[in-house]
Structure formats: C-alpha cells, structure tokens
Amino acid sequence: MKIGYARVSTQDQNLNSQLDALEKAGCERIYTEKQSGKRDDRPELQRCLDALREGDTLVVYKLDRLGRSTFKLLELTAEFEKNGVDFVSIVDGIDTTTPVGRFFFRTMASIAELERDIIVERTQAGLQAARARGRVGGRPQTPKKDVERALKLYDSNEYSVPEITDMTGVSKATLYRAIKKRSE
C-alpha cells in the first residue's frame, strides 16, 4: 500500500499542492499535519509511521516534509529498511528501493539540514543587526498610562476584568502582571 504524508509548518500554509502530488502518485491513505518539521512530537507523522507495514511505501512530496535533521531522516529510513518499507520523495526523485536512491536520499537529507542551518544563521544575523541599530523584537509594550488607568479601574471594584480590558485595550495578562508587580 502507498501511504502519503504531507506537512506544512504553520496553520496559514496550505497542503493542496502536496495532496495533489500524493494522490497522483497513487497514495491510498494520506496523513496531513500542520507543525514544524523540527519537532519530534508530530502526532500525524507517528500515526502514519504506525500504519506502515512490510511491503508498504511511504510517499512524501519533498524530503524536508518528513524531517529537518539528517540524523532524524537517516534514523527513519533505517527503520523503514529494517521493517521492509520503501520510501519515495516525489520532488527529490528519491526511491530507496535502489542503491542510487539510497545515495540520493542521504545526500538530499544533508542538503535539507544545511538549508535549515543557513536559514537559522541568517535569521540570527538579522536579529543581531537589528539589535545593534536599537530595534527590539517582540510586541510593543502597552503604554504605561493605559496600564495605570486599568489599575485604577481595577481598584475601583466597579468593573470586571473583561470590562477593563475592553475599555483600556490592556490585555488581561498585562493587567494581572501589573497587579502582581504592584503587590510585590
């Protein structure tokens, strides 16, 4: 049986192109997931792996959909080989039933990890450059006067917390943090 696995990293991304390719490849069952490939706790991937039996073929659209680290990918394919499961990556042209396919798989796994490392390195360099120019990441802080107004409304005991957050625009978490900080 051909079993497909499709994954995107965020909820905003869409699986359609992967699903179309997996269906075209003849997958009878397809597992889908919206989580980072860096995470090891991907429930749909685990369900997919649990469903694989000897003689089955796991099909993915692209190698990095299965995992980001070379170690994890090689670990998975070693498990596939041990259990008599074939592996196919459509875009990468990998088919582990052949020696050349196994070679390409290992090479492409290394490249996928390199690509991820380069992205992380560029992101870190960009963040450092921004900090050096005085830019700070994260959400903008709630103006102090808004927090003080929310605290006064809270102290008046006339309004509920949801009413205070609606009137001031101060989030519930910010309000409770200010209350806690004040009492310390």
Just list the catalytic residues: 9
Task: Please report, in angstroms and rounded to a whole number, the separation of the first and last CA atoms in the chain.
Answer: 63
**Phi, psi (deg, nearest 5) at residue 34:** -125, 85
Identity (one letter) of the amino acid at 153?
L
Residues in CB range of 81: below 8 A, 6 or more apart: 96
Q: How many C-beta atoms lie closer than 10 Å to residue 27's C-beta?
A: 22
Identity (one letter) of the amino acid at 48?
C
